[in-house]
Structure 1
């Protein structure tokens, strides 16, 4: 069974259908109870009336013959009961003193009959009284009437009981209940069908909104146009208003990023130029050493600003730029060519291998930043006269990129933390911003890829990027 809380978490269509069906079933149950009561009362009224008529006719034919009561049973008294041929009829004529006149004398031994006779008041206008009794192992419905007959010895109270077994009235009641139940079931079933159709019509505008939004790209923030009832129109206006505000926010963020890049880089570049000018004119070794440290700090500051702006730009482009198909092999080759000069300065061989051509859908700028940071880190932490290997291949259902260096590597305790912002491993003597691995992890996460860190044998670090099935396509 569903609770109200579980229903409220399901679809709106299911909720409307569940509440409507529950209300209909409750109304149907009440209708069934009412019909059952009505069928019972109708059956009682229909069969009690001929029973009472029979008793009254017999009572009218009770006569005083001398000092004794006699009855000439009329045929018409039982003709009205002949409509139920399967039922048996019992009757009794007696007095207040329980004197037997005619009929089934065994009825006088029933306590219920005696109590009903004693409790039955005689009135000017004869009114029948009905009661039920199990007589001779059968359920019998009795009608009791009585009147006063005046004799020379005084008034005599005479009572007539006429009973009939209830098989016919029970069958009639069941038939009436069956017909009414089928009618109620048919009405409830048809109503549910109508409700389902109406719910489908009501949900059409919402499905149209969902369909139009789901088909849009992540950069399409133009207003949607859906015609519908007043509530749907309000919802569409709210969605359009939200998308307008979001579009303005993204535009402002883009403007801020470009302005911040200019405003932050300009003074740092000016500071670097001044330091380089002072360094060219300074002859003191100690002062030159201080200026070199300042120049190095400027480089770190420039790199930090650049990384922060790139990170902000990547997040902005995730929401504002439509993904495109990128040949990952060509992208890796282009980055390797750009970084080869830095590698050659330290006599580091930058090796590239590929086993197949692969295409990945995403933002080229974001993918470039991820690969540049990882390859640049591999070069930076490699010793001179070593090798950095970059490999593009396929493993099972995954397209992978391996970036392998033979430097100092990363300790196992540091590996879970290197993707945090500004995290620097202990004992790291190389300058850096602590943002490169964070940017790489964000880009990989956005494109459902995994960044896995392995130890290179005999030493060093291997970064493995895994693109899962259906996130890449092989180029023939």
Structure 2
């Protein structure tokens, strides 16, 4: 701020000096023109000769600069000096009124040349009147004008600097308070900063709160992943280990084969649970990091359909695809949307009743839906679809399918919807359209 004020002061100083010199020059140039015009009006022609009767008014005008020396010269048509100083310089340019700089002795001076034309029977031609003046009064007037201007501008600048300092001080006061609040926080406290601040600083506070909210989501996801792994994986791993030990000690081959089959089933279930846990953590992470592109929901439905088609047919479950002819565009993360669609379809295959259909609807919003002929999940699950490890997990489900779909919908500014139909139940991702 000081640098701006200093630079502005230098500019104002230069402008004030230039304005003072220009104003003084114009004022005293008018005096020179007035004096030269008075002399020109006093010239008369008598007996074919130009006579100059120097008027007192011309000298009264020039006397307004009492400390300056004056010079004048009247030159006839033949170039001869009619009166005045022969060494007064003539203008190099032609014109009725010409201003030019010169010297008067050892001092710089300002001159004006005024031309009067005569066209009489016994006298014709131009008479040139030269009037000059040294520059002392001009300099004094320029200094006074610049000084007065600088005093006024300096006072205004001081007032502006005071107000600017008060405004900046008021605007920056919240910054130390924000820094102090952050320093005093517990490292795990990522709640929003609640401090009043001017609009210039409020944007910084909002950005900090947004950053801490994203960081809190990532840390919560990490904590959930660690806690879920410790809680959900310990029991199936212990069961697999115990059954493997029993199988190793079982002498009966038929009993051992049954134990190995149970170990395989538990391993598959554990693998599915681990995949869902990692996918859920990945979805939470990608919500804040993955770039968003234009995506056709029909492509998402087709990919989910193809991923389950073979396995569904192998279990005598019919999976049908129902998509419109035109594109249904949303802006989102392809990987996250695909995982959500796969989990919705997987839930319908594990818990619903065949036939199962997956499709897309285009309207005011973009809808990706999965329909089966079952009754749908219990009401407590529909009330909180984001709950992890909810519902019946006896069929190999990890209990995270709806939680993953709910997280994807929320990260795309949408939501999950459930509806009972005449022939079954529908779960859907309701997303805003883009295009």
TM-score, structure 1 length as denominator?
0.44
